[in-house]
Amino acid sequence: MTTPAPMPAFPPAFTWGVATASYQIEGATSAGGRGPSIWDTFAAQPGRIADGSSGEVACDHYHRYAEDVALMAGLGVSAYRFSVAWPRIQPAGAGPANPDGLGFYDRLVDTLLAHGIDPVATLYHWDLPQALEDRGGWLDRDTAERFAEYADLVAARLGDRMKLWITLNEPFVQMTFGYGLGVHAPGRAELFGAFPAAHHLLLGHGLAVAALRAHGRTPVAITNNYSPVRVLGEGDADRAAGAAYDALQNRLFTDPLFGRGYPDAPGVDPAVVRDGDLAAIAAPLDALGVNYYNPTGIRAPEAGAPLPFELVPLAGYPTTSFDWPVVPDGLYDLLTLLQDRYGADLPPMLITENGCAYDDEVSPDGRCDDPDRIAYLDGHLRAVARAIADGVDVRGYFVWSLLDNFEWAEGYTKRFGLVHVDYDSQVRTPKSSYAWYRDLIARP
């Protein structure tokens, strides 16, 4: 057996972190005055969640946050990316802040800082207050205004201690899965009629940047998920299909951030864009969050197909339990693509999510070995190191996820965590990948 080469060195100030999201781990969905979110409503509808579950209990992080912060401290991470649940702060999506909701995040942030861990807060990780969805959700322009008010309330309470604000997580997924295809909350299937959600998400981001900066100079970012396109086919139609998919996934939520307006992507409707919107969206950023899981295979669709591209599985790679291909080089390709595409406009990047799901089990002796996850993380971190060596400005890496959790429409059937969670007992068991990541962070 060959011994793997040593992991390349990372810059001395490189941020090592872990990430989670509110609805996926917090539970306590009716505690402390929290209002219902679109995921509470969606999960209650039969057939929406693979195992019929919900985030009602999840990992009970709302009550067990101190135990979870202790796990982070044991890892030695320098930062924790979490999300704030909008329904905890504004149960009806508008009005004054709920003091109990803010109090929970107050306690979490103070506990993180007491352990030397920088808090990195994402303001929106898909749990829109149901009251706002009842009025149109992200298809309605007013939701962008409400988001800015919510950002102002959170920043007024936590801004003195926050190390980085992230406005939105993966707006492409919220638009496509939530409003385009209907497989995520709120379950709307508008296909390309979902573009207003894209624009209002980005407008909400821009308005929130202004609200956050009114409370100080805490750095502000947005997190997008990206997937480099692998065109499978040699024809012009195949290349055109690849360009269409790239515009939709990789450019629609990024070009406007850097003052380039919307690309020629499927479904873009300029009629919803008002004077001043694009300037608000292009507010300068301090960082760009990059989420990466795998590339996407694309070829030309059959005649008469509803989409201008066809998604094709990438053959020849190992896969996760999600059947996603494991392609570490895709992360290098993505980082260099972003660098080449946006050049001097591109701020420093952070890998705000990268990870994998496997069917992890705790053995009778209490161990949870996950060698496939270790191999996955090792390969992807080497890709990041190679990109840095080639001049790409990447400042940090956050593993998705600290804990096994509620994996959206898949319920509790997929495990991404460095820590195994028994959902009946809430016992946390660090996996072998936890020890691997701890030892990597601790390297001199």
Find residue 397's DSSP bridge partners. Answer: 16, 351
Instruction: Give which of 80, 78, 97 is closest to 88, Cα–Cα.
Output: 97
Tell me the chain's radius of gyration from C-alpha atoms.
21
CA count, 13 A, side-chain hemisphere, 19? 26
CA dist 104 and 228 (Å) reads 38
Cβ-based neighbours of 408, under 8 Å, separated by 6 or more = 24, 39, 126, 184
Comparing CA positions, the residue from 162, 159, 58, 156 lying closest to residue 118 is 162
Three-state SS at 216: coil
Q: What is the DSSP letter of 428?
A: E
353 tagged catalytic: yes
Report how far residue 29's alpha carbon sits from residue 224's, in angstroms, rounded to the nearest whole number.
26
**What is the SS3 assignment for 314?**
coil
Catalytic residue among 234, 353, 407, 410: 353
Helix (H, G, I), strand (E, B) or coil at 409: helix
Output the CA–CA distances (angstroms, integers) from residue 387 to 8, 289, 349, 441, in the order listed: 11, 15, 11, 19
The DSSP annotation for 9-37 comes to P--TT-EEEEE--HHHH---TTGGGPPPB
Say whether 187 sits in a helix, a strand or coil: coil
What six digits make up the tokens of 421? Answer: 């969670």
Q: Which of 170, 234, 302, 410 is catalytic?
A: 170
Active site residue 170: yes
- Residue spans of beta strands (DSSP E) within 46-117: 79-83
Element (H, E) at 374: helix 371-389
Catalytic residues: 170, 353
